[in-house]
Amino acid sequence: MTDQKRNRQLLLAQRPEGMPTEETFAYREVPVPEPGEGQVLVQTIYLSVDPYMRGRMSDQKSYVEPYQLNEVISGGIIGKVVESKSDRFHVGDKVVGMMGWQHYNAVDASEVRKVDDLIAPLSAYLSVLGMTGLTAYFGLLDIGQPKKGETVVVSGAAGAVGMVVGQIAKIQGARVVGIAGSDEKMDFLERELGFDRAINYKTADNLQKALEQACPDGVDVYFDNVGGPISDAVMNLLNDYARIPLCGAISSYNRTDGDLGPRVQTKLLKSRALIKAFIVGDYAHRFSEGIRDLAQWLSEGRLQYQETIVEGFENVPQAFFGLFKGENLGKQLVKISEPGE
Ligand SMILES: NC(=O)c1ccc[n+]([C@@H]2O[C@H](COP(=O)([O-])OP(=O)(O)OC[C@H]3O[C@@H](n4cnc5c(N)ncnc54)[C@H](OP(=O)(O)O)[C@@H]3O)[C@@H](O)[C@H]2O)c1
């Protein structure tokens, strides 16, 4: 059925210095792969672009292997099974997994998981019920451990991870302050998601003062998505025994100058704060617990989610660049084909 079709792929053409550009990527067309025994052929429906991918475009040692030059980039994908040589999947099943940025992937059945679009729309399995929702859930609840009445600050607050963090903190009874990069995002956080305060770090005359006003009782939990000067300012307001889940540092991902900032040791010592970096994969053995609670809160209307969906494979690079320019509200996804096509 697929032999007439070509498989379009997106490769890493160059390792970027600083901000990635169109030259970072290259397209290639190859024949659609034939699934082997025990494999399925998956047609891509949604593809996830994520800030961590910037790290994989460099060849520095990290918690995950770098992408290889002239090879297909990979990431989270939702697709449908169009051919199956596994008794675990039927044609038409919708699946999620780590797959290549291409229209068709032939993968072992064990590498994908079936998803049910009756429980939530397909795209949610790459957002609130996927990697970013789980990152928010485990980072906040396991490391941040917010208590009723405490102040939780989250940076990158209007992004995929950040907006789930703030809402879970509200569910735990905390007071929530979000930091984001536009007035529209501030409005969304305060009006739609019930954040107590939002700060626009791009327009605040004095971010430190704005934070002090927004956090009159100091900061008990700082969920750090961005690093850099925003985190420097929050670190000055830590209460005794504050907890800092260190999730990401997007402000430094494209920097080439080493990103030196104020030293944090004294601030941590004075407040006896805990700072702990984590990777969502550390919690893989508990994912079903996280998905259960997130799905429950969704069904009760206590948790909302937002996605920015760009259409078309040719727009994947732009969608990726947009993460570093703040173009997304909630999870950035790219729609590659219709679920029913
Ligand atoms: N530890 C883990 O396992 C894990 C898993 C997922 C994600 N992460 C990390 O969590 C963070 C958020 O990821 P996400 O997937 O939810 O992305 P996201 O927040 O949906 O998108 C990135 C957002 O970062 C903000 N941003 C970009 N450049 C910035 C800068 N220089 N300073 C401050 N903010 C900036 C932009 O929003 P504004 O308009 O507000 O600037 C942009 O919308 C990233 O650092 C990511 O690497 C970690």
- pLDDT band at residue 162, thresholds of 50, 70 and 90? very high
Which residue's CA is minimally distant from atom 24 of ligand 1? 156
- CA gap 229, 261 in Å, rounded: 8
Q: What burial letters (b/e) apply to 185-198, b meaning 16+ CB within 10 Å?
A: bbebbeeebebbbb
Amino acid identity at 97: G
pLDDT of residue 5: 80
Mean pLDDT score across all residues of the chain? 96
Is the per-residue pLDDT at 22 higher than 70? yes
Ligand 1: which of 226, 256, 310, 334 to mutate, most ligand atoms within 8 Å of CB? Answer: 226
Helix, strand counts (H, E) of the chain? 9, 15
Residue 49 CB–ligand 1 contact under 6 Å: no
Residue 179 CB–ligand 1 contact under 6 Å: no
pLDDT of residue 4: 60
Residue 140 CB–ligand 1 contact under 6 Å: no
Tally of CA atoms within 13 A in the half-sphere of 206 that contains its CB: 4
Percentage of the chain beyond pLDDT 90 is 94
Which residue's CA is minimally distant from atom 37 of ligand 1? 326
Is the per-residue pLDDT at 239 higher than 60? yes
Going by C-alpha positions, the residue among 22, 89, 4, 321 that lies closest to residue 12 is: 22
pLDDT of residue 2: 46
Ligand 1: which of 161, 278, 331 to mutate, most ligand atoms within 8 Å of CB? Answer: 161
Q: Do β-strands 175-180 and 197-200 pair in parallel, antiparallel, or remain unpaired?
A: parallel
pLDDT of residue 62: 87
User: pTM for this one?
Assistant: 0.97
pLDDT of residue 60: 86
- pLDDT band at residue 297, thresholds of 50, 70 and 90? very high
Is the per-residue pLDDT at 312 higher than 80? yes
Residue 308 CB–ligand 1 contact under 6 Å: no
pLDDT 10s digits, 47-102: 999 999 999 999 988 888 999 999 999 999 999 999 999 999 999 999 999 999 99
